[in-house]
């Protein structure tokens, strides 16, 4: 037996012995102590998911109260600030609203008709703030997918004109429909822009509610480059030639699966859109406890959870009601925040050999903006971070089941998670990948090992019904025990944990089913020059081509990229085997323009 293998077995035996000792101590723990843990967790979740917090949306009063709550507890527990205080402030765009100057005038053979904002039509949040004037063309579903045998624009000249298009797709009733990828609003507006239209007017088909879309913050890009509005069916019906109805047109398209498109003679639209985007401050809340071993003082462990949620709803809400309601976010993520706080209390009372930083992230629901901000503006060097341990939605444990992701990001995680899972009688479901829709992914893309705890999705996800009464506080207490045992074991490692980059699939973070794989990881925060990426996936076409975390993509093939909407639109234009020139900006000042050839592969 070689020495390396012997050392590894000794280390694993040590972990198991420590685990057994921790578990024995847990079993012998007084019932009153367990009850106190449950009571603290419940108290934290009840406050964070209360009416007073109003859903903790970034920039809101409830979000600020939640940040102060975390900071006060950090101070109470004895955690130290890394700077002058516990707050790392940054700004986010929290609201879009109509400013002065919105109007829609329709003219027909000398007659003028004014649409009332909020009654017949509503500007959309990704519209360009501009005025546009042009003739009207009905362009079916506004889909150009020649490779799929369907193209509404095939025989249309829409240059300098407004297009009226149905929302959705003609095969929306088919779960395997090929046109679903082309149905999103942002894809249609990008297609209309590419075809030369000056504006787009969406109208709902009969299988959707004929209600004006809410003016909600867009995720991925504020300005689509042309004017974009949504109109009521009754308003659009009046523009159609005599004898034509939207229902008949829709039925004809679906029956034959062929476009029905035509000009609207004599009609002209002049539409002005003026949007105002409101910026507000929010905070990552950060405190730390120093380690006990001076030799490990530059090896930090980060323990995090996002404390923000959706406020009264917004673009990411799954609530279908018409009356605004608070989205309490008891599981997402008051549960993870409470678990992080209880873990901080315990670690502060009995520090580890390594220093531990505890973080409450904001703006996770907007695309992990808070954790991305920290990674761009770290308070300790990222190369001195040996683990990011994340807790996101840990309040709905059933049958002792716990999902642990990121177990492949260090060679020591797998056996550790297995042994601790057995010790705490947990049914562990493991995922090797360090990516995923939470804050740990921001650190993984910086080559930092990660672990993420999660008890699973449920029907209350992103709905007002995610409430305190559905939280399993006993299960949360077990998860905190598991988290503490994990941290104490890693915190006592003689050697720094290694980092392993896991080969990942395109499924992580993808909402649309494209034919091609690229392997870029978008940064969802707004960027004035293009779409910034936080990293690339192991073995992906992006990595092979030389794309790097921090690159700002400004062109993908023929498509200029200003935001993630443009990028996803570009992906839909290509097929496996295509070689695409991708132009990026890189360097400290993002002033180096580099062109890379990406060989696109088929998605798994």
pLDDT tens string 188-237: 999 999 999 999 999 999 999 999 998 887 666 678 899 999 999 999 99
pLDDT in tens, 73-114: 999 999 999 989 999 999 999 889 999 999 999 999 889 999
CB 366 within 8 A of CB 524: yes
Helical residues (DSSP H) of 157-232, grouped into ranges: 185-194
In contact, 361 and 371? CB cutoff 8 Å:
yes
Alpha-carbon span 179 to 171, nearest angstrom: 7
- In the chain, residues under CATH classification 3.50.30.30 are 101-273
Distance CA 243, CA 446 (A): 61
* pTM for the structure as a whole: 0.83
Between CA 132 and CA 273 the distance in angstroms is: 9
Cα 395 from Cα 477, distance rounded (Å): 10
Annotation: CATH topology of 3-94+279-491: Aminopeptidase (3.40.630)
Provide CATH code, domain 101-273: 3.50.30.30
User: What's the CA gap between 65 and 49, in Å, rounded?
Assistant: 12
Question: Is CATH 3.55.30.10 the right assignment for the domain spanning 516-602?
Answer: no
Query: Which regions of 144-194 does DSSP assign to beta strands (E)?
Result: 144-145, 150-151, 162-166
**Helices and strands (DSSP H and E) totals, the chain:** 13, 26
Answer whether residue 27 shows pLDDT above 50: no
Place of tokens 């009850």: 35
3-state secondary structure of 97: strand
| CA–CA dist 328, 465 (Å, integer) | 7
Q: What confidence score (pLDDT) does residue 169 get?
A: 95
Average pLDDT over residues 325-344: 98
- Separation of alpha carbons 296 and 16, rounded Å: 23
- Distance separating the N- and C-terminal Cα atoms of the chain: 40
Residues 6+ apart with CB under 8 A from 201: 121, 136, 162, 163, 164, 165, 229, 230, 231, 236, 269
Q: Give the pLDDT of residue 570.
A: 87
Task: Report d(CA 374, CA 540) in Å as an integer.
Answer: 26
- Would the pLDDT of 163 be above 50? yes
Whole-number Å distance between alpha carbons of 267 and 265: 6
CATH 2.30.42.10-classified regions of the chain: 516-602
Average pLDDT over residues 163-173: 93
Residue 530 token pair: 């293009």
Report pLDDT for 360: 98
* Nearest-angstrom CA–CA distance, 365 and 369: 8
Pairwise CA distance, residues 485 & 480, whole Å: 8
Q: What is the pLDDT of residue 359?
A: 98
Of the candidates 262, 206, 207, 209, the residue with the CA atom closest to the CA atom of residue 239: 262
């Amino acid at each position: 037996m070689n020495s390396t293998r012997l050392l590894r077995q000794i280390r694993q035996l040590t972990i198991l012995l420590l685990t057994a000792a921790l578990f024995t101590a847990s079993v012998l723990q007084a019932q009153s102590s367990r009850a106190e843990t449950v009571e603290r967790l419940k108290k934290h979740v009840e406050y964070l998911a209360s009416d007073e917090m109003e859903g903790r949306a970034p920039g809101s009063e409830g979000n600020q109260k939640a940040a102060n709550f975390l900071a006060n507890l950090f101070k109470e527990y004895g955690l130290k600030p890394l700077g002058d205080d516990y707050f790392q402030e940054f700004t986010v765009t929290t609201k879009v609203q109509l400013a002065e100057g919105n109007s829609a005038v329709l003219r027909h053979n000398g007659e003028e008709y004014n649409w009332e904002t909020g009654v017949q039509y509503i500007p959309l949040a990704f519209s360009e703030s501009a005025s546009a004037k042009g003739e009207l063309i009905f362009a079916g579903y506004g889909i150009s997918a020649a490779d799929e045998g369907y193209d509404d624009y095939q025989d249309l000249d829409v240059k300098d004109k407004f297009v009226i298009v149905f929302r959705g797709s003609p095969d929306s009733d088919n779960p395997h429909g090929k046109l679903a990828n082309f149905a999103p609003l942002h894809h249609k507006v990008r297609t209309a822009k590419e075809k030369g239209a000056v504006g787009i007017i969406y109208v709902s088909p009969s299988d959707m509610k004929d209600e004006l879309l809410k003016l909600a913050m867009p995720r991925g890009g504020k300005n689509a480059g042309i004017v974009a509005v949504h109109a009521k069916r009754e308003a659009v019906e009046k523009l159609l030639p005599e004898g034509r109805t939207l229902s008949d047109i829709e039925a004809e398209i679906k029956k034959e699966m062929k476009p029905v498109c035509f000009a609207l003679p004599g009609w002209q639209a002049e539409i002005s859109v003026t949007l105002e985007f409101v910026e507000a401050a929010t905070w990552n809340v950060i405190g730390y406890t120093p380690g006990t071993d001076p030799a490990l003082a530059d090896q930090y462990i980060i323990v995090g959870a996002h404390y923000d949620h959706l406020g009264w709803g917004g673009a990411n809400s799954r609530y279908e009601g018409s009356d605004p309601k608070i989205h309490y976010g008891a599981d997402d993520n008051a549960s993870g925040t409470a678990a992080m706080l209880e873990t901080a209390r315990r670690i502060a009372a009995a520090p580890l050999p390594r220093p531990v930083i505890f973080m409450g992230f904001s703006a996770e629901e907007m695309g992990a903006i808070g954790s991305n901000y920290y990674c761009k503006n770290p308070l300790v060097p990222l190369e001195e971070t040996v683990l990011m341990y994340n807790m996101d939605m840990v309040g709905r444990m059933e049958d002792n089941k716990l999902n642990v992701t990121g177990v492949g990001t260090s060679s020591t995680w797998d056996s550790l998670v297995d042994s601790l899972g057995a010790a705490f009688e947990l049914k562990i479901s493991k995922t090797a990948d360090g990516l995923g829709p939470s804050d740990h992914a921001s650190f993984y893309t910086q080559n930092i090992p990660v672990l993420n705890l999660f008890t699973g999705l449920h029907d209350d996800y992103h709905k007002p019904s995610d409430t305190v009464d559905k939280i399993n506080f006993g299960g949360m207490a077990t998860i905190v025990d598991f988290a503490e045992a994990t941290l104490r074991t890693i915190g006592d490692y003689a050697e720094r944990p290694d980092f392993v980059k896991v080969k990942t699939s395109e499924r992580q973070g993808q909402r649309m089913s494209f034919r091609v794989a690229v392997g870029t990881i978008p940064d969802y925060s707004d960027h004035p020059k293009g779409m910034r990426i936080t990293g690339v996936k192991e073995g992906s076409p992006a990595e092979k081509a030389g794309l790097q975390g921090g690159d700002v993509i400004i062109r993908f093939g023929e498509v200029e990229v200003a935001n993630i909407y443009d990028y996803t639109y570009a992906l839909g234009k290509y097929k496996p085997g295509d070689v695409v020139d991708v132009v990026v900006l890189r360097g400290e000042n993002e002033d180096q323009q580099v062109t890379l050839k990406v060989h696109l592969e088929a998605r798994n």
